[in-house]
Structures are given as C-alpha cells and as structure tokens.
Structure 1
C-alpha cells in the first residue's frame, strides 16, 4: 500500500529575502528592538550633521579629516543601501527627492577634494532627516501630524538655511575678500543679514555680494515668518473631513467649516 505525500512547501527562503525582511522589520517595525535600532541610527545621523556643520573648521586637520569623511561616507552608503532594500521596488524609492539629496551628499563625501566647495550642502541632511517618515515614526510618533511637528520642521528649515548660507558665504568669499577671514565671520554675516540687523561692518563686495545678501535677507525673513506662524497661530488638529477633504479643524469643532459635514474628532486626552 502506497500513500501520496504532499509536496514540501516549506523550502528555506533565499538569504536575500531574509535580509530584506529583517531590514523591513528594523526600519519599519514597531517592536522595541526596531525602535531602539532607529534611535541609534538617528543619534548617529545627528552626530554626522554636527560634523557637517563643523567641517569648514575641521578641514585643517588634514588626513584625520579625510579619514572621518570616508568613514561617514561608508555609514551613509550602508544606510541608503539598507533603506533601498526595504522597498519592494527600488524605482519608487529613487523617485523620492530626499533620496536624491542624500545621494548627492554621499557624492560630496566620496569625492571631498573635488566637491568640497559644494560641501556646505551636506547640512541639508538635517532637513531631510527631520522631514522623513523615519524620524517621526521613531522619535515623534505621538507628535506626528500635530502642531509640534510643524514647529519642529519650521525651526529645522531656519537652522538648516542659516548653516547652508553660512557655508556658501564662507566658500565663496573666504580668501578673496578680507571681510570674511573665517567661518565665524561668515556665520556672523549670515545672521545679521537674515535678521535685517545690518550693522554694516561686513559687506560682501560687488554686485554678486549684493545679490547674495538680498537672497539671504528675503529667505531668512520668510523662514522667520513661517516659524512665527507655527508658534503663534491657534491650535488645530489634523482630521480630514470625509466629505470635502479639509485637513485641519479646531479641536472642538463639531461641523466642518468648509462644507458643514458632521465631524467626530477624537479627544486627544482619550485613546
């Protein structure tokens, strides 16, 4: 007597599949291990951003600076590769503007001798970090889609602009204009320009210098206004109306102010 046996469907998964599943669990999971992993990644990211901000001052360190530079490049490359593997379709991942910005930052790290004049753009890593879902799913889960998120993003945009503008002024004018003799001079000029204080002790030369000053002033004022609006405007909650799609409402709203639809906004104090 013979018996038919069902085909074995429990074949081991390919190693690549296991790796992708593990990375997805770490980068997108909600377990304590995943949260701790993402916190570690964010701490490393913030340390890297600190290096980017201080890079103009540290460049005089010679070989040590370049060693640190390439170590950071390796860390960033591994992080980008891991994030890419988390996606089932890498083409969709590559469509994200933040990804292209991170790839450009990686290029400045891999070729510091040729792209150092664009190195000030590395500080944009701070902006991409705070505007990523990765950040808010880890540190700011309870603040995601809230007023605090808007405030943090507005403050980050302002701080990022200050250091990007400082790096641009330093790279463009140090050594060619005696008024900018170091990084602190460039930072001082940027802050006095974007706050429209205008002490006048440092003035960038020529028409190009005037254009740079105008851009810093206009952009800085815009970012200051945006930050002030997020700090002072009345508190709103994100709760999309299922009829007209209006995203924000007053916390105690009963009806949508756009279409009059009945709302049922959950009380923030109850879960």
Structure 2
C-alpha cells in the first residue's frame, strides 16, 4: 500500500459516512467518552498507583490521534488553525507533565467539545431525521464543557487540598449554584480572586444558558450557503434567500 493509499484510507475512516467509517468513528467516540470519564473522576483517582499509568496511556492515545489527523489533513496550516486541535495539544501537555501543569488540568474538560464537533454526530442526526437537534446538542455540550471547566478551575485553586471527593463536590456545588444564580451562600470563594472568579462564572454561565434556551425555542435553520450572497442559515423549506432573493435548491434531509 502506497503512502497516498494509506492517507486516503485513513481519511475515509475519519470523515467517511460508510458502514466501516461509522463503526470506526463510534469506536473513537466510545474511547473519548471513557477518557472524559477519567478526567471527571480524576480527583477521586489521583491517589491511586495506576493514575499516572492511565494518564500516560491517554497521552499516547491523544498523540497518536493527533498524528493521524495531521496525516490526513489536506492543508497542515489550516488544520493547525482549528481550535479543537489546540485544545488537544493543551490537554496532551497536561497529561505529559502532570506535576508541572496540574493547575491547568481543568482544561481537559474541553475534550467534551470534540463530541459536538465530530462528523459522527452530524451523520447520526441526519440518518435519524433529527438534524434540527444539532444546535441544541452543541449548546448543551458547550454548557457542560464550561460547567466542568469551571468546576475544575475552582477545585484546583480553592479546594485542591481537601479530600478528592469532598473537594470536587464542593467545587461542583459552588459552580452550579453560581451559574444558576441560586447563590445559597454556604460555600463562597475567599479573597478578591475568589470574587472575580464568581463574577466571571456567573456572566459566562448565564450567557451559555441563554444560548441554550435560544437553541431550543428558535425555529430550526439549515446550513446551506446562498450561491449569490453567501448567507448560510435558511429556513428548512426556504425557496428564496431572505437576503438577496436568489432561488435556493436546499436538498432534503435524506438526499
């Protein structure tokens, strides 16, 4: 098998939509879910002897996947501009140097974001005839990413010295109470840094929940660039572009 054939086969597995590609992408998604579960449960497992072993195994997996995606990239420069790639590089750094970069371990929660950006999710929704749920699912994923990132940040800088379970639960409880603006006040963050953290958590959290609410209640739009003016969001049954009036030919979901 030539190098070109190998790249073509690997690209088909990663972004294809046939049965073999879907099975491969499902396997990758299951591995991603297992990695995310490990990241979330990290505070409970960090004292165990196998923690570093699993940590480095995940680092090897992410490095391998990054290498594979770099191989199949049509333009390496454009590939490096994708935010999700830099997310994986940052996560890889926290895995390879856990003692040096432990303060940034909360960024590992951004791995959840990869699920919302995957080809697999779009294919599954389209085959189920539920493409209109794509925006809602991505909004939910964004909210979850922020929730766990904020929890990890609060845990790292304010509750890290407590027992893993108790400290993490306190951080999660504070984050949820702050994001939802419930504000019971039984757990607060000390000092000016704590107050600034609370303010930022409330502002971003409320914005994400508003975005989620908008995704649920607003009419479904399809992504189909208008060949005349480039407007990409249209009603699913639109015949003409609202911006320029150009006749559209939006394919049905099954096509």
TM-score over 0.5 for the pair: yes
* Number of equivalenced pairs: 254
Q: Who is 1:8 aligned against?
A: none
Q: Deviation of residue 23 (structure 1)?
A: 1.5
Quickly say closer, same or farther: Cα 1:74–1:222, change in 2 above 3 A: same
1:13-37 deviation per Cα after TM superposition (whole angstroms, max 9, x unaligned): 64x4443233123223333222211
2:163 aligned with 1:182: no
1:245-267 deviation per Cα after TM superposition (whole angstroms, max 9, x unaligned): 22223334333322233334445
In structure 1, distance between residues paired with 2:41 and 2:160: 19
Q: Who is 2:73 aligned against?
A: 87
Of the candidates 170, 185, 188, which is equivalent to residue 155 of structure 2?
170
Q: Deviation of residue 137 (structure 1)?
A: 5.3
- TM-score, structure 2 normalization: 0.89
In structure 1, distance between residues paired with 2:185 and 2:33: 34
Q: Who is 1:4 aligned against?
A: none
- TM-score, structure 1 normalization: 0.84
- 1:1-271 aligned at under 5 Å gives the runs 14=2, 16-61=3-48, 63-132=49-118, 134-136=119-121, 139-142=124-127, 146-174=131-159, 182-268=167-253, 271=255
Asked whether the equivalents of residues 136 and 144 of structure 1 are also in contact (C-alpha less than 8 Å), the reply is: no
Query: What secondary structure sits across from 1:60 in the alignment?
Result: coil
Query: What secondary structure sits across from 2:46 in the alignment?
Result: helix
In structure 1, distance between residues paired with 2:50 and 2:120: 30
Quickly say closer, same or farther: Cα 1:229–1:52, change in 2 above 3 A: same
Indicate the structure (1 or 2) with the bigger Cα radius of gyration: 1
1:100-156 deviation per Cα after TM superposition (whole angstroms, max 9, x unaligned): 110110111111121122111011011133224x44455445479943111111100
In structure 2, distance between residues paired with 1:153 and 1:144: 17
Q: Who is 1:7 aligned against?
A: none
Query: What secondary structure sits across from 1:263 in the alignment?
Result: coil
Over the aligned positions, Cα root-mean-square deviation in angstroms equals: 2.6
In structure 1, distance between residues paired with 2:233 and 2:4: 41
Query: What secondary structure sits across from 1:260 in the alignment?
Result: coil
In structure 2, distance between residues paired with 1:69 and 1:242: 48
In structure 2, distance between residues paired with 1:144 and 1:214: 40
Q: Deviation of residue 98 (structure 1)?
A: 1.5
Quickly say closer, same or farther: Cα 1:41–1:267, change in 2 above 3 A: closer
Query: What secondary structure sits across from 1:74 in the alignment?
Result: helix
Q: Deviation of residue 40 (structure 1)?
A: 0.5
Query: What secondary structure sits across from 1:182 in the alignment?
Result: helix
